[in-house]
Structure 1
């Protein structure tokens, strides 16, 4: 295979001198992650190697081979060129996960820059992304095109699925059309002139605290991440692996961990357009899928169906990725013991393309509750958020990423890029973490969400994780969200907002607080005294989440404070401390 400009032998040395630790794992010269062609050629190679194997299982469970999908990819790429795209053009995909999403995504990688957009957000958010990125082509459902036009989107070519509207062009027609051979030659020429350092993705963050920012990822960023992720999951055609993907394709969880890792490995990807726990487990069993991805909340919802032998008949689910929220050790243990799945916990963020840390199959049991060690070729360092100096093992600081997965920056936002760049050029994540002496990372929380109670720094994400290790809560709570509530004496108190599995209020606020207090006592308490909440809302306040299932902490904090004020709710002490 000719790789043109795509060789990138310096990838493994993309780390400042002097910061590699004793547990740094280098990428060796010639390793696949250091010697990749551009993504379009990876797609071509996968199709050439596995032409008659199943590549995609669509939402209706219709199967498509690599040859069938590859033909549609090249036809759509030619269609992009025919309708005005040029090398480097930005192509937005805005629709639910489905086979057309994957085809559009892989075709766009060959021609220009992909800009995924969540299909569930308000149209003005999508309009902002289209305007900010300078997008001229949008692939979407016909109804979404009408919605975007009505919101003021102009001068855009719409390529629509499930019909057409106005001046839109039919997706179906473009992937069915016969193109002259010169068009394929033009497409090959475009890929030959691409370099691995070229931007190929602009992934806009969710923007829960303001306008979304577009993280620019390169061919090499994604090639590095997809190959390392596939390696840690031991994806293989030899073992008949098949991936189940419920995270949306508009998120890096879906498009890089899902689509790209599966294509790189030459294995099928089963698509879910909307997460439903029972349907997910039924599909995993029926199709004998071996790998699945999800958040802890999604795995908690699937667990009862995995434990039901009438639903989960074919026990093929051997591993997967759990990420996006604190991952409770007892949930990971139950999946291992009751379901037979050795889950990998991954830490990362969009700006790191996305994975940076992962637990391994060889990790000792006591390390399974961490987020693992850094990917090979990367350094994850804990730094003082004020001066950027490294902090000792076992002490909290900001998690900073160095290595080949780090983005080029935010698109058209140098000032925002500067805010997340460390003095040595690393990516400042805004997460608080602790590194042990063996290089395992523990995430404590977010700097901006920290609660300060009586001078003590408390991290909601860590409290949430510890609470979900309490057996009563693991069994009956679907989710727990921790926020700070202003307090005259201590500055802030801990407030817990709980959503139960059945919505039946299994505890009163007093009972919930008492259980927390009980778990703050003894020799090995799960919670510190300061972490025991003084406010608890059980199925009483809706926990707002984004379309990507992230808790909107600012909105939730506002709701809690308003509820406390409107109802004149007073602090609740544990019963044992009441006199």
Structure 2
């Protein structure tokens, strides 16, 4: 069977091993892994999971940067019918613990130390009743199995046991549980299945035009659907070679492109802006670059033109997606003019429908702004253990209500114009003001808090917080920001804070954030 015909992730790895043999699958530093070896490592890790008595349907989390072991661990847990729960590496211990508790994860793959942080130790003191074991993919930590010890556990597990478990995994089996925040600020676990994910990955990689043997540098984090599904899953399906990058460092990225002759480089607009602006760019040979896929923020037409003229990309497309839609909803097509690429998020993926509706749910004609709805095979099964939120997001006619405001043109190209949910996007990461507001309200002496997004040249948008102290209290903005850095992932931390004597309210007593945006603009 061809890899593109695979309906489960273990099947994909096995088929890719047969199709691509010893051609390179992953290059990570000094480690080069072929497709056949990758499949062997996947099975070895799967045997170890069986030795740990991981059952079908159990949730297994991964909290680590982009490394080859991440892919092996994920494909192994998929092979035994477990459900992947990726954790954002920027999360603090309490944030990660919330997701682990909500998902009921029984096993955690982590990294011993990364960027000066001991990840397992961040969970000390957290109540995690379901978590039985932590495995360090690299490095070591107290009370954790290291990677070699973990792999050794599976030596005596019969091959027939794994074979039975793999056969039991079907296209309808849950593959992952990706947590995403909503307007309430409470993260919800999005349930998606093997078959729908592989179908959308097949369609996405076909539209983008991934070619066997191409070298794919993945800067987008594996914990996000962009780095996971449009990243390593798509690369393995098409026989590409994956180059994981743990952190976004422009000089390291350019050096890798030049040295390894990288062809495919998706990422948020910030990535390409950083490349174009770098003073040393001319010292690196970037001529191998062919495919760029971006989105998540407005893009100047001039940037698209410069990406073609100065960076040499032949294919540049923008896209729009949500975790609730397996990460994919619309995409431009190769050959679309720069103005369309810059000013739209493309048209619906194959087999997917888009429409815009008014406040009463009536479908709007082209050119009129309304809430964007998505329908198709790519929609989530629902939110984990949250039927009420699932019913609010997915209506009786099968439409997903995205909370985004957009306009469709006559050709079906979508332009996102606003967000009902007030979400902002910082360097490609979704940031939800309600989550930051809830955190800030725990700070002593604050009566009320409101968070908005403000423009940032490098990151697109960043958070700004307006703080109303309780009567008689004095609040120091610097102290609040220092406290936020201890409580929140760094991309969520407000970049500006303003202490106010009153917040603007509407007749219903809700903060009018459009007024706050005017205040923020006037203060620049």
Structure 2 contact 367–409 (Cα < 8 Å) conserved: yes
In 2, distance between residues paired with 1:548 and 1:402? 32
Deviations 1:20-63 (A, max 9, x none): xxxxxxxxxxxx97x642111011100121121111111x2532
* 1:383 pairs with 2:353: no
2:195 corresponds to: 220
Partner of 1:271: 244
* TM-score, L = length of structure 2: 0.79
1:132 alignment partner, one of 102, 108, 114: 102
How far apart, in 1, do the equivalents of 2:66 and 2:27 lie? 12
1:315 matches 2:287: yes
TM-superposition CA deviations, 1:486-520 (whole Å, max 9, x none): xxxxxxxxx99454569xxxxxxxxxxxxxxxxxx
Rate the CA distance shift 1:231–1:571 in 2: closer, same or farther, 3 A: closer
Cα distance in 1 between the residues matched to 2:155 and 2:217: 34
User: What is the CA-CA distance between 1:561 and the residue it aligns to?
Assistant: 6.5
SS at match of 1:368: helix
Rg larger for: 1
| Alignment partner of 1:54 is 2:28 | no
Q: Give the alignment partner of residue 399 of structure 1, picking from 358, 372, 376.
A: 372
- Cα–Cα, structure 1 residues 309 and 121, in superposed 2: closer, same or farther, change >3 Å? same
What is the number of equivalent residue pairs in this alignment? 457
Provide the residue aligned with 2:442 in structure 1: none
Q: SS at 1:74's partner residue?
A: helix
Match of 2:8 in 1: 38
Distance (Å, rounded) in 1 between the aligned partners of 2:215 and 2:381: 32
**Which digits, 9 at most, give the CA deviation of each residue in 1:445-499, with x for residues without a partner?**
101339xxxxxxxxx99xx9xxxxxxxxxxxxx9xx9x9xxxxxxxxxxx99454
Query: Are the aligned partners of 2:183 and 2:421 in contact in 1 as well (CA < 8 Å)?
Result: no
Pair 1:145 & 2:120 matched: yes
Matched, 1:186 2:161: yes
What CA distance in whole angstroms lies between the structure 2 residues aligned with 1:496 and 1:205? 18
**3-state SS of 1:354 partner:** coil
Question: Partners in 1 of 2:137 and 2:48 — Cα distance?
Answer: 14
Between stretches 299-308 and 67-76, larger displacement belongs to 299-308
Instruction: Provide the residue aligned with 1:121 in structure 2.
Output: 91
Question: 1:387-438: CA deviations, max 9, x gaps?
Answer: 2221011000111110111100110011111221234121111110000011
- C-alpha distance in 1, partners of 2:453/2:140? 48
State the partner residue of 1:171.
147
Q: Would you say the 8 A contact 1:75–1:174 is kept in 2?
A: no
Q: Tell me which of 41, 46, 56 is aligned to 1:77.
A: 46
Does 2:306 match 1:330? no
Aligned to 1:20: none
Question: Do 2:27 and 2:243's aligned partners in 1 also have CA atoms closer than 8 Å?
Answer: yes
Is 2:56 the partner of 1:87? yes
Q: Spell out the pairing of 1:8-47 with structure 2 (5 A cutoff).
A: 36-47=6-17
* CA distance, structure 2, for counterparts of residue 102 and residue 256 of structure 1: 11
Question: Do residues 100 (structure 1) and 100 (structure 2) align?
Answer: no
CA contact (8 A) 1:432 1:447 kept: yes
Q: Is the 8 A contact 2:405 2:417 kept in 1?
A: yes
Match of 2:177 among 198, 202, 206: 202
1:211 — aligned with what? 186
The structure-2 alpha-carbon separation of the partners of 1:44 and 1:380, relative to structure 1 and needing over 3 Å to count, comes to same
Structure 1 match to 2:446: none
On the 8 A contact 1:38/1:191 being kept in 2, the answer is: no
Change (3 A) 1:496 1:205: closer
Query: Is the CA contact (8 Å cut-off) linking 1:197 and 1:219 kept in structure 2?
Result: yes
The whole-number CA distance in structure 1 between the counterparts of 2:224 and 2:489 is 8
Q: Could you tell me how far apart the structure 1 residues matched to 2:240 and 2:488 are? A: 28
- Aligned counterparts of 1:159 and 1:570: Cα–Cα separation in 2: 48
1:372 match: 346
Q: Could you tell me how far 1:107 is from its partner in structure 2?
A: 0.8
User: For the residues of structure 2 that align with 1:68 and 1:149, how far apart are their CA atoms?
Assistant: 36
CA distance in structure 2 between the aligned counterparts of 1:399 and 1:164, rounded to whole angstroms: 46
> Partners of 1:420 and 1:208 in 2: how far apart?
12
Deviations 1:201-238 (A, max 9, x none): 0001156852211000101221122111111121111x
Distance 1:570 1:411 in 2: 39
TM-score, normalised with respect to structure 1: 0.72
For the 8 Å contact 1:73–1:175, the answer to whether it is kept is no
Q: Does 2:326 match 1:353?
A: yes
Deviation at 1:304, TM superposition (A): 2.9
1:547 and 1:260 map into 2 onto residues whose CA distance is 29
Deviation of 1:168 after TM superposition, in Å, equals 2.3
Q: Distance in 1 between matches of 2:502 and 2:34?
A: 57
CA distance in 2, matches of 1:394, 1:496: 26
- Cα distance between partner residues in 2 of 1:306 and 1:264: 36
- Relative to structure 1, the CA distance from residue 570 to residue 151 in structure 2 (aligned partners, 3 Å threshold; closer, same or farther) is closer
Q: Which runs of 5+ in 1 are unaligned?
A: 4-31, 451-459, 465-477, 484-494, 503-540, 574-579
Name structure 2 gaps, 5 residues minimum.
113-117, 434-451, 460-480, 504-517
Secondary structure of the equivalent of 2:310?
helix
| 1:351 aligned counterpart, secondary structure | helix
Distance 1:306 1:201, change over 3 A: farther
Measure the CA separation in 2 of the matches of 1:67 and 1:248.
Answer: 25
